[in-house]
Amino acid sequence: MRVTDSHVHLWTDEPTRYPDANPRPAYMFRRRYEPADFFAQAGPSGVDRAVLVQSDNYGPDHRYLTDVIASDPRKFAGIARLDPFPPTPPGAEGVTSLIAVSRLKALAERGFRGFRVLALGQEANDRSFDAPWFAAIARAIAESPGLALCPLIDPAALPALDRLCGEFPAATVVIDHLARIGIGNAFREEDVARLVALARRPRVFVKVSAFYGLGTGKPPHAELAPLIRRLYDAFGPNRLMWGSDCPYQTQHEDYADAIALITQGLPFLSTDDREQILHRTADEVFFGRA
């Protein structure tokens, strides 16, 4: 069974060609993690495509991922970061919106299909996406088939995202890492219900990913099965996609452990369901083809 990993981080250690914009956080535990390193770990599990997510160390400088994507666009697609933006003076919100949309269009021309935004911790609330620039990029994505908004958010921001999806129903939205439900092994029904409610928005997808950071964080990750079953019943397999969050999970488990829950651990999935979640959904959203 072939696999597309919908969530992979890559970086290199060529500071002259690809300088870091930010200090490397401790979780970037390797000096470099390049395509050959990824496929050495992921290839034995059937992975032949990857959706690459901009690493924090590069900030808004997307040159490294741009070059990786250009090396084989059949194999790689990208998720970029548009923010952060400097504080917007009152009355100048339109300028920031124009900058945001301009960045989006320029990155889309370079092979990026997703655009990541964050609403985490104390910043995750019902007003998380009120900034005018955010509405501007949501509108641009709604008007651009083949592009997706990719929020990494905590459950408290799900109502705000729901409102945004209602305002821009044509915008494709891909929620990272099960909306981080299960961090600290906490599966609150209120949080699950908020995520399930987004299933009524037909262009919302969910990444069933980063298992090492949820629940107990240990394979076989069986405690995530009830949550995934709820999402399967609500969204169907055609709006779920698997991702590893490689290489971060390899500090805690083997690559095969990150995928085994989908391939072996969910008896309610048919073979066709597994193929849908493991490659077809991500291929259709990020590569435009199965």
Q: Decide if 7 contacts 243 (C-beta within 8 A).
A: yes
Taking CA atoms, 141 is separated from 102, 107, 196, in Å, by 12, 12, 23
pLDDT of residue 200: 98
| Chain position carrying tokens 């993690």 | 33
What's the pLDDT score for residue 84?
Answer: 64
How sure is the predictor about 266, in pLDDT bands with cuts at 50, 70 and 90? very high
pLDDT, residue 249, reads: 92
pLDDT of 83: 72
- Indicate the domain borders of the chain: 3-287
Architecture of domain 3-287: Alpha-Beta Barrel (3.20)
Residue 149 has pLDDT above 70, yes or no: yes
Q: How far apart are CA 177 and CA 118, in angstroms?
A: 12
Q: How far apart are the C-alpha atoms of 45 and 196, rounded to whole Å?
A: 30
Share of the chain above pLDDT 90, in %: 83
132 or 54, higher pLDDT:
54
Query: Of residues 123 and 214, which shows the higher confidence score?
Result: 214
pLDDT tens by residue, 50-107? 999 999 999 999 999 999 999 999 999 999 998 766 566 666 667 778 888 999 999 9
What is the rounded average pLDDT for all residues in the chain? 93
- pLDDT class of 268 with cuts at 50, 70, 90: very high
Q: What pLDDT, on the 0 to 100 scale, is given for residue 224?
A: 98
Q: Is the pLDDT reported for residue 260 higher than 60?
A: yes
Local confidence band at 235 (pLDDT 50, 70, 90 cut-offs) = very high
CB 38 within 8 A of CB 8: yes
- Cα–Cα distance between 50 and 39 in angstroms, integer? 9
pLDDT at 15: 93
- Verify cis geometry, omega within 30 degrees of 0, for the bond prior to 84: yes
Give residue 167's pLDDT band: very low, low, confident or very high (50, 70, 90). very high
Give pLDDT tens digits for 3-14.
999 999 999 999
Which pLDDT value is given to residue 26?
84
Q: What is the mean pLDDT of residues 171-193?
A: 97
C-alpha to C-alpha distance for 242 and 92, rounded to whole angstroms: 40
**For range 30-57, the mean pLDDT:** 96
Q: What is the mean pLDDT of residues 30-42?
A: 96
d(CA 43, CA 36): 10
Q: Which residues contact 19 (CB under 8 A, 6 or more apart)?
A: 61
Question: Mean per-residue pLDDT for 155-171?
Answer: 96
* Mean pLDDT calculated for residue range 45-54: 98
Query: Is pLDDT at 40 greater than 80 in this prediction?
Result: yes
Q: What pLDDT, on a 0 to 100 scale, did the predictor assign at position 156?
A: 96
CA 251 to mean position of chain CA atoms: 20
The C-alpha angle 117, 122, 126, rounded to 5 degrees, equals 70
Assess contact for 148 and 140: CB atoms under 8 A: no
What is the band of 233 on the pLDDT scale with cuts at 50, 70, 90? very high
Mean pLDDT of 39-54: 97
pLDDT (0 to 100) of residue 86: 57
**Termini Cα distance of the chain:** 13
Strand order in the sheet with 172-175: 3-8, 47-53, 76-81, 112-119, 148-153, 172-175, 204-209, 240-243
Q: What is the pLDDT of residue 27?
A: 85
